[in-house]
Each structure stands twice: as structure tokens, then as C-alpha cells.
Amino acid sequence: MTSDGVDSRRVAACPRVKVVCVAQKLKGVLAALLLIALACARAPDRGSDASAEPVRVSHLTQIGDSRRQASQRLVVAGLESDAAGQGERALATYERALRVDGTNPYAYLALARYWIEAGDPERGVSFLDQAEVLLDASGEGTLGARVHVVGLRGRAGTLREHSGEAADQLRQAADLAPQVWGDGILSADELR
């Protein structure tokens, strides 16, 4: 058994499993390297005081076309419901936000956060993957958005018992945005 909980006999018997395991580890490492590179590229000239202003969806409701703005307002409403403990209402609102604008990376980010905190990290990571693709494609992948992607990957990893990589991701998120990621959790209010 490896430290990731993978049966090494199964990996040796099936090269495809080994490739998938290696690819998953590389994806995490590449995400971490990208985050570090972005931090270095945008680091202020104040020495090692590099931090990210985390994205708050409520600050984005006036950006984009009318569909994006409507979708963002729905994401904010969902985050408000989520913060109030109304999980079913929040989920329905996030899904409605996607029906309005299926290319809204922040709707996927909110859904990822929702499912990870609901204890379903696999579902959360699938939404997180989509958010990351859309952030990259749209050019909205700022350091403030990336810190949430890395932090949520770390949070999902802790729930999936991938502790080594998860701890590194959470530490990177906390280093860049300690006011949000210092506790290792992204609350609905912090994303809102």
C-alpha cells in the first residue's frame, strides 16, 4: 500500500492505473507550480509579502454581459442561502446560475465548494475541474481565483485522505490568502 492508499500490487498489475495515478499527482504538482509562478509574477516589491486578494463573487456582478451578470447574482444568492444553512436552496440556486450561463466559472466554483463541504469531494472536484478550465479559457484565472482552486483542491484532498499533497495545497492557499484560507476552509461568506 502506498502513502496515497493505492494498492501497489494493483498498480503493478495494471499500467493504466499507474499512469492515472501519476497523472493525478502531476496535475496537483502542476497546479501548485502554476500558483507559485503566478504569485512570483504578481508579487509586490515589498519583499516576501506576496498575497492574493481572494475573489469575491459579489464584486463581479456588474462584469460581463447580461447573462453573466444574472448568473453571478444567482451565485451570490446561492452563497447567501448556503451561509444561512439552507443547503438545498443554495444548490438549486447554483444550478439555476449554470442554466443562465453555463460558462460561468464562479458558479462551478460555488458548486465545488458546496459539494466538498457537504462531504462529497469527488463531486466537488469534478465541478472544480470545470471551474478551472473555464477560468483558463476566459482569462479570468487571476491569482485571486486560483487561490480558491488550489485551496479547494487541498480541502477535497484532506477529505479523500490524500494528506501530503492536500496539506501542501492548503498551505499554499493560506500563504497567499491567510484571511480566507488560514483555517483551511472556504466558507460561503468568504466566497460571496
Q: Is residue 16 one of the residues assigned to a domain? A: no
What is the tally of structural domains in the chain? 1
pTM over 0.85: no
DSSP state of 140: -
Q: Is residue 172 one of the residues assigned to a domain? A: yes
| Residues of the chain under the 50 pLDDT cut | 11, 17, 19-23, 35, 38-49
Q: Give residue 49's pLDDT.
A: 47
Asked whether 168 and 32 are in contact (CB, 8 A), the reply is yes
Q: Is residue 20 one of the residues assigned to a domain? A: no
Integer CA distances (angstroms), 141 to 2, 37, 145, 147, 182, in order:
34, 13, 6, 10, 21
Angle (CA) 75 52 188, round 5°: 30
Q: Give the C-alpha separation, 17 to 9, whole Å.
A: 11
CATH number at residue 79: 1.25.40.10
Q: Give residue 107's pLDDT.
A: 96
Q: Is residue 32 one of the residues assigned to a domain? A: no
Q: Give residue 115's pLDDT.
A: 96
Q: Give residue 186's pLDDT.
A: 83
Q: Is residue 31 one of the residues assigned to a domain? A: no
Q: Is residue 28 one of the residues assigned to a domain? A: no
Q: Give residue 144's pLDDT.
A: 80
Tell me how many helices (H) and strands (E) the chain has.
10, 0
Q: Give residue 50's pLDDT.
A: 57
Q: What is the CA radius of gyration of the chain?
A: 17
Q: Is residue 45 one of the residues assigned to a domain? A: no
Q: Is residue 30 one of the residues assigned to a domain? A: no
Domain that holds residue 117: 52-191
